[in-house]
Amino acid sequence: MPISEVFCEDNMAGMARYPDGYFHLAIVDPPYGAADAINPVSSAGVYAAKRGNYKEFKNQAPPPEYFAELKRVSKYQIIWGGNFFPEVTGGVIVWNKNGTAFGEAEVAICTTHKSVKIFEYTWNGMLQQNMSNKEHRIHPTQKPVALYKWLLTNYAKPGDRILDTHLGSGSHRIAAWDMGFDFWAWENDPDYFAGQQKRFEAHIAKPVLFAPEEMYQFEQAKLFD
């Protein structure tokens, strides 16, 4: 059974407890701190959700010290919204959401390669790629479990320790659990932490419907070099 250690605390305090290079791969989705990255926001940069009953949160980008600490404790990083962070360089992962003109895709910067790779998975308002197993959204910047499974399939190796500094809805935690990866994460908002915990516990209480090797098959996912 994989390790799944999650903490309701500041991620800088959490990362400080671990030695250099302890985590093999960090996959993180911090606030981008840009008005054109998340909509709508008030003049104070507080997300004001229109498409769900989400709790407001500060759309404040992490300071340079965060990225330095992230690179200290993890050997490789995949950073969503990396195009908004001057501290981040590397290859590019594009998630084509088949979305609206405002949010057609999202970009991550990845330190494991220098090429551009694309993952296609519909995530547009009420529409999701897998409507027969539709995910309930509990966070305004929630990403699908399938996206994290694709990332883990393509960028992690069996036995790797996985890090997430902004747990949010817990999609990443669910993906890591299903695929057998040891996982550590932080979320500093107690309400979102409680929400992801409830979601995770409900997920692992379900009977396993597929053999482990089938977890790696993404019939509707497309990867382009």
Reported as a single tens digit per residue, the pLDDT across 87-111 is 899 999 999 999 875 578 999 999 9
User: What average pLDDT does range 8-26 have in this prediction?
Assistant: 98
Short-list 111, 125, 28, 18, CA closest to 72: 18
For residue 209, what pLDDT is reported? Answer: 59
- Domain locations along the chain: 4-224
User: What average pLDDT does range 77-83 have in this prediction?
Assistant: 95
User: CA 34 → CA 14, 37, 40, 58, 67, distances in Å?
Assistant: 26, 5, 11, 11, 17
Distance between CA atoms of residues 73 and 38, nearest Å: 28
What tens digit of pLDDT does each residue of 42-51 get? Answer: 555 555 544 4
Report how far Cα 92 is from the mean position of its chain's Cα atoms: 15
For residue 213, what pLDDT is reported? Answer: 41
pLDDT for residue 224 is more than 50: no
For residue 100, what pLDDT is reported? Answer: 72
Question: Does 112 or 213 have the greater pLDDT score?
Answer: 112
pLDDT for residue 123 is more than 80: yes
**H-helix or E-strand spanning residue 190:** helix 190-204
What tens digit of pLDDT does each residue of 140-174 get? Answer: 899 999 999 999 999 999 999 999 999 999 999 99
CATH 3.40.50.150 assigned to domain 4-224? The reply is yes
Residue 58: pLDDT band by 50, 70, 90 thresholds?
confident
Residue 119 per-residue DSSP state: E
Q: What is the mean pLDDT of the chain?
A: 87
Short-list 33, 22, 11, 21, CA closest to 80: 33
What tens digit of pLDDT does each residue of 169-211 get? Answer: 999 999 999 999 999 999 999 999 999 999 999 999 988 655 4
For residue 64, what pLDDT is reported? Answer: 96
For the chain, what is the total number of helices (H) and then of strands (E)? 5, 11
